[in-house]
Amino acid sequence: MDNGIACGFLLREINFVWERIAKNLLDDTNLNWTQMGTLSILKNTEGNELSLKSLEKSLGLTQSAVARMAGQLVEKGYVEYTPDETDQRAKRIRLLEKGTQSHQTFVDVLKGRELPLFRGMSPGEALLFEKCLGQVLENSTQFCKELYEKKAKK
């Protein structure tokens, strides 16, 4: 099997396993992995808010999927919609205190557990692995963009 295909398959399998791990860790909340990821993105964004369009790009989801998910987070009291000052048609999504607290609780749970991802690796190997995964993500995102652009030209 070609190395690229084998690595892609392994990444897919790792993703499936981590989705199950995340579901298990999130069982005590009323959030799913994508919703928690959204809280994390907002928490790490200046002003704790983004336009829905920026959130779509960050999550790699469609406009309708992000709107649906954001609406669920609004209903649960984790975020609120705010008007976009530059475009009245656009909405922004802002993290509320409940969202900040839930995100912090989740982070604390993760920090309190020995996660298996880096077992058997030295700190240097773990750092290199993280760097390599970041490069794989960047390369994959660029390749995906190129495929969509090529398809759009047809």
Question: What is the pTM (predicted TM-score) of this model?
Answer: 0.71
In terms of residue numbers, what domain contains 137? 121-154
36 and 55, same structural domain? yes
CA dist 102 and 66 (Å) reads: 19
What band does 114 get if pLDDT is binned at 50, 70 and 90? low
What single letter denotes the amino acid at residue 17?
A: V
Count, residues in the chain: 154
Residues 66 and 98 in one domain: yes
State whether 19 and 95 are in the same domain.
Answer: yes
Task: Kindly report, residue by residue over 30-65, the tens digit of the pLDDT.
Answer: 898 889 999 999 999 999 999 988 898 888 888 899
H or E segment at 132?
Answer: helix 123-153
Question: Looking at the structure, do residues 40 and 24 belong to the same domain, yes or no?
Answer: yes
Q: Most confidently modeled of 77-81, 105-109, 133-137? A: 77-81
Report pLDDT digits (tens) over 87-97.
878 889 999 99
Q: Are 51 and 16 in contact (CB under 8 A)?
A: no
